[in-house]
Amino acid sequence: MHKFAYYAPQTVKEAARILSKNGPNSKLLAGGTDLLVQIKEHVKGPAPDYVVSVKNIRELHDVKFSARAGLTIGAGATISETLATKGVQEHFPAIADGTAIIGSLQIQNIATIGGNLCNAAPSADSAPPLIAYGATALIAGPRATRTVALEDFFTGPGKTVLKPGELLVSIHVPTPPARSGCQYVRHTPRAQMDIAMVGVASFITLDRKGRVADARIVLGAVAPTPIRARQAEDSLRGQEPTADALRAAGDIAAREESPIGDVRGSAGYRRYMTSVLVQRTAQAALKQAMR
Amino acid sequence: MNEEGNKPGQSPEEETMDTRSTAVTRRQFLIGAGAGLVVGAAATAGLQALQPAKPVEQAKPAPPVQQPAQPAPATAIVEPVSGAKLVKLNVNGLDYSLAIEPQTTLIEVLKRDLGLTGTKLGCNGSMCSACTVLVDGVAQNSCSLLAIRESGKKIVTVEGLEQGGKLHPVQEAFWTQMGYQCGFCTPGQIMRAVELLNKTKNPTDAQIMAHMSGNMCKCGAYPNILKAVQAAAKQMA
Ligand code: FES
Ligand code: FES
């Protein structure tokens, strides 16, 4: 592998300082399941000369949940650690939908949700459910911290709002309100170890009368970044969630995306599957909401 | 994850690992490898381990020694590590102090520096799990771990399963059930199955298949792999 110097800072501040000192020549290393492949195969530009490990930064590994405060996932926590945290599977089933399918169990033992987000693949499976739950990202730089909505975190394939010297500290997800539900489904040519052709997360909250109070529909792998299907969401708000309403929402969502065609599926097929998956995930979300 | 799938053949790294000439003595090999020197029990290692001139191999297996948890240094490390750094690993019950460069993966240390060639390098990119080993009891892809990040950990490879000349029940079962064709994925499959059966007694078929799903078998020996894990589960119940 390409030779690099290795930093193991113990605080977020220090990591930010190291990153800003070394500029684009430095890369943050969390689980490494993406970064090490990128270094070995020289994809995504030249290999970095400095690698900054987050392993010794304690605060990045915490996963905390309380019904009141919601869920906070440290950017360095592994997928397995996150899923094993009490309350996660129960209150945020779609996070489990989106992360328990990332790679193999071996990968989930190493890989982090923070890394999946920062790698910013349009197909990243953790992004749509987190965005659908209304997650925010806490970002630290050498001098200050800031918070951005996760839906604004991505700017293009492999690109995020992180500026040189900044790093993702944690993801915060509010506890979903009563009468709400959320599901994420991805469609892939094969069942295991694959990358999404289309991924859809639907979050629905019902009012007391059973009409849609709020809806957030997030599409993955069908645009340069994960996107909200806002017109589809609007079409549902205030409506009875009938099969017809969901079908219409699915068709609207399919028109809001800009998919590519590749080895996993043509653009047309992606659009078709988007419509199907919006209906399926919205149905499942409704079921949870009516429990 | 890599979009293109596996490359035909192996990486150059792997070739140098496995096709090394037998004319090279183990001692020369250890010196030549430079990065990793096998040194006796932790206490004697010190910085000498960084001197490539004096490799010492531990003669007989020491009982597994629990590594004391590394106390966190009071001040943060601001300087980068470039060049070799002393790393302590317990591999199959033996303590090693090794001089390892930051870019070295765990599988490189196991195969190249320790001569434990049982672990196989397939994709070198977290896709096939042929390189699965146990790290503190958890199955991980050794091609995707930087060795210096695993300091103080207990590693078990396929060579470490046999006890007193007796195969581990999972090894035995893969043998009797023919849980392989070419055998390349087998060490990884076995380590993965060992992890499962250490944690779960009498797993269901669905549990076995879910647990083993990240381990690719290019020969498609999956039905017999399932039979082998079922048989081992019976033995270990
Ligand atoms: S060699 Fe394929 S996952 Fe490590
Ligand atoms: S036995 Fe050949 S790859 Fe599995």
B214 in Cβ contact with A104 (< 8 Å): yes
Q: What is the distance between the alpha carbons of residues A217 and B195, in angstroms, rounded to a whole number?
A: 38
pLDDT of residue A181: 97
Q: What is the distance between the alpha carbons of residues B206 and A138, in angstroms, rounded to a whole number?
A: 38
* Residue corresponding to tokens 């996070």: A95
pTM as predicted: 0.80
The CATH number assigned to the domain with range B162-236 reads: 1.10.150.120
Terminal CA-to-CA distance of chain B, rounded, Å?
Answer: 37
pLDDT for residue B9 is more than 90 = no
A131 in Cβ contact with A150 (< 8 Å): yes
B85-160 against B162-236: fold identical: no
Residue in A221, A216, A133 with CA at minimum distance from that of residue A171: A133
- Confidence category of residue B28, pLDDT binned at 50, 70, 90: very low
Summarize the confidence of residues A109-137 as an average pLDDT.
94
Give tens-digit pLDDT for B121-178. 999 998 999 999 999 999 999 999 999 999 999 999 999 999 999 999 999 999 999 9
Summarize the confidence of residues B105-116 as an average pLDDT.
97
A29 and B145 within 8 Å at the Cβ level: the answer is no
pLDDT of residue A41: 83
The more confidently predicted of residues B4 and B101 is B101
ipTM of the complex: 0.82
Give tens-digit pLDDT for B55-88. 334 444 444 444 444 444 444 446 788 888 999 9
Q: What is the distance between the alpha carbons of residues B71 and B88, in angstroms, rounded to a whole number?
A: 14
Summarize the confidence of residues B110-118 as an average pLDDT.
97
Query: Min CA distance, A173 vs chain B (Å)?
Result: 26
The more confidently predicted of residues B45 and A33 is A33
A280 in Cβ contact with A243 (< 8 Å): no
pLDDT of residue B49: 37
Query: Min CA distance, B127 vs chain A (Å)?
Result: 7
Give tens-digit pLDDT for A66-112. 999 999 999 999 999 999 999 999 999 999 999 988 888 888 989 99
Give tens-digit pLDDT for A199-217. 999 999 999 999 999 999 9
Domain ranges of chain B: 85-160, 162-236
In whole angstroms, what separates CA A99 from the centre of its chain? Answer: 9
In whole angstroms, what separates CA B190 from the centre of its chain? Answer: 12
Give tens-digit pLDDT for B184-212. 999 999 999 999 999 999 999 999 999 99
Specify the ligand 1 atom closest to the Cα of B141: 4
Our mutation pick for probing the ligand 1 site, out of B123, B145, B191, B213, counting the most ligand atoms within 8 A of Cβ, is: B123
B212 in Cβ contact with B229 (< 8 Å): yes
Residue in A204, A194, A199 with CA at minimum distance from that of residue A257: A199
B82 and A9 within 8 Å at the Cβ level: the answer is no
In B101-199, at which residue ranges do the beta strands (DSSP E only) sit?
A: 132-135, 138-141, 154-156
Give tens-digit pLDDT for A30-44. 998 889 988 888 776
Using CB atoms, pick whichever of A5, A18, A110 lies closest to residue B102. A5
Lookup: tokens for B116: 């434990």
Domains of chain A with CATH codes: 5-53 (3.30.43.10), 60-173 (3.30.465.10), 182-289 (3.30.390.50)
Please give the CATH topology (third level) of the domain spanning B85-160. Answer: Ubiquitin-like (UB roll) (3.10.20)
3-class secondary structure, A115: helix
